[in-house]
Amino acid sequence: MGRDRRNVIVVGAGLAGLGAAWRLSRRGFRVAVLERAPTPGGRISAERLDGFRIEAVPPVVCAADRRLFAFIDEVGLRDDVLPLRPLIRSFAHAGGLRDVELRGLADVRRIPGVRLREALRLVRLPRLLARYGSRIAPDRPADAAELDDRSLADFCALYFGRSVLDRWMAPLTTSAALGEPGEMSRVQFLLDYRRRGASRPGLPRASLSEVAERAGARLSVQCGIEAQSLEHSEDGRPRVRLRDGRAVAADAVVLAVPAPQALALADPLLGPADRSGLSAVAYDPILTVAAGLCRPLAPRPQQLLVPRSEGSPIESATIEPGLPASRVPEGRGLVLVRARGDFAAASGDTPDEAIAKEMLGALEALRPGVERAVEFSRVLRAPLGMPRFDVGSYRELSRFERVQRDRRAAGRRFYFAGDYLADPSFEGALASAEQAADAVSEDLAP
């Protein structure tokens, strides 16, 4: 069979699905992307309101996000999105904020609440990373399975101290991925630190939703089409059964949806080991309050990190002044306040008005003047917000990868993609997309 006749269906037009479809299309496959939502993007989708582009996930990225930057370049939006707008990081302490620029580990001692003698112990961190060697490889997270035996809290208490955990390691990690320090694997922090190091965070000038829209326009993305199940056609190829009763066969199918949805779609064709791996993935809901401001609060973007010991419902917040032709209108401002995972989980039935009042009130206590500048607010919820990488997750990921290699060797031609297979970030979604596209290309090579 010639390459021009090989076709692939990708279920899900989030960043993982778009990334996989983009790679496969550029390699000569005919690719159709099915998305049940009215627009592509998934977690990077944005609501348009009064000139603003409002995301549920604050688009905080850094120079280490090379796959994301490459994708932005390939779809032709580099000049619109980049360079990043550098973020000033502010750490909450005793009801106030302190700006701290972290150029290296020595700067951690400047974070309020970090004990000096514990900050000095951070000289151990580079030594530990050197000892762990290639097992801590951001491009191969499953390689760290044998180190997946301690929580971040236990790891930090053993080597550094509670103040380093509470004031630096935990806020830094959970601001990007949510989770509970006493449950999340130490591997998650180590992988993230090895990848990002002291890279300065920033915000894109345009919304990442524009990247999804541009990619979707150049791919065959069919929105408003819901996949119901995965099955085998008469000739043994995978076939996607749609909610409207139609069935579409392909040479390969990539399921680029959250793990629970992938499990439900593929369940008739899965073995016990597949089901076990997908069932083991847990998620934290995302709850974000977005507020459009009548004026900028500061001349430069700011990221607020709030330690758990502060007793706030806020995990993190970004405050962004507007620019011409950007995601925030010039002369105005945008606040994105993301709730802690436990607060979000307990607030499923709480009315939006009450959520917005509590979250913005908590932000006002840290950053006075916010509430007076608010023109409108929106509460954005995502029940399957971010996958958790708790202790044991990397061991489970390693087992799941072995199972998928065995299934591929036996001739199975459906694949999984999503940040739950790599890292709970934009970069992780694209890393999983790359892995899925490479597997399809290898298995369908003439």
Interval 74-112: pLDDT, tens: 999 999 999 999 999 999 999 999 999 999 999 999 999
pTM of the complete model beyond 0.85: yes
Residues 177 and 241 placed together within one structural domain of the fold: no
**What would the two tokens of residue 431 be?**
């890393």
Beta carbons within 10 angstroms of residue 295's beta carbon: 13
pLDDT tier, 4 (very low <50, low <70, confident <90, very high otherwise): low
Domain of residue 215 covers 3-42+209-281+390-443
The last residue of one of the domains, among 175, 196, 217, is 196
Examine the domain organization and report whether 394 and 382 are in the same domain.
Answer: no
Do 276 and 395 lie in one domain? The reply is yes
Considering the domain architecture, whether residues 116 and 188 belong to the same structural domain is answered as yes
The whole-number pLDDT of residue 5 equals: 62
Which of 196, 227, 249 is the endpoint of a domain? 196
Confidence label for 295 from pLDDT (cuts 50, 70 and 90): very high
Domain membership of residue 202 (yes or no) is: no
Which tens digits make up the pLDDT trace of 193-250? 999 987 899 999 999 999 999 999 999 899 999 999 999 998 989 999 999 999 999 9
Cβ-in-10-Å burial (0-12, 13-18, 19+) of 98 comes to middle
Give domain status of residue 95, yes or no: no
State whether 327 and 381 are in the same domain.
yes
**Residue 147 CB partners (closer than 8 Å, separation 6+):** 132, 135, 136, 186, 187, 190, 394
Let me know whether 296 and 382 are in one domain. yes
User: Are both 120 and 174 inside the same structural domain?
Assistant: yes
Residue 190: φ, ψ to 5°: -65, -40
**138, 259: one domain:** no
Same domain? For 287 and 379 the reply is yes
Residue 58 shares a structural domain with residue 178: no
Q: Using CB atoms within 10 A of its CB, is residue 374 exposed (0-12), middle (13-18) or buried (19+)?
A: middle
* Overall number of domains in the chain: 3
Confirm whether 69 is domain-assigned: no
Contacts of 135 (CB under 8 A, 6+ apart): 143, 144, 146, 147
CB 90 within 8 A of CB 100: yes
> Could you tell me if 290 and 303 lie in one domain?
yes
Q: How confident is the model at residue 1, as a pLDDT? A: 36
For 247, the enclosing helix (H) or strand (E) is strand 247-249
Q: Is the pLDDT of residue 312 over 50?
A: yes
Compute φ and ψ for 225, nearest 5 degrees: -115, 120
Cα angle 32-37-40, degrees, rounded to a multiple of 5: 60
In this structure, which amino acid lies at residue 64? A
Q: 3-state DSSP call for residue 279?
A: helix
**Tens digit of pLDDT for each residue in 298-308?**
999 999 999 99
Tell me which DSSP letter residue 297 carries: S
Q: Does one domain contain both 136 and 192? A: yes
Which spans in 298-425 are helix H?
341-345, 352-366, 370-373, 393-409
Interior angle at CA 39, CA 217 and CA 341, nearest 5: 130
* Domain end (from 196, 230, 252): 196
What residue has token string 């309050």? 289
| Residues ≥6 apart with Cβ < 8 Å to 159 | 121, 124, 125, 128
Q: Let me know: does 152 contact 191? Beta carbons within 8 Å.
A: no
Token couple for 442: 């290898």
* CATH number for the domain harbouring residue 354: 3.90.660.10
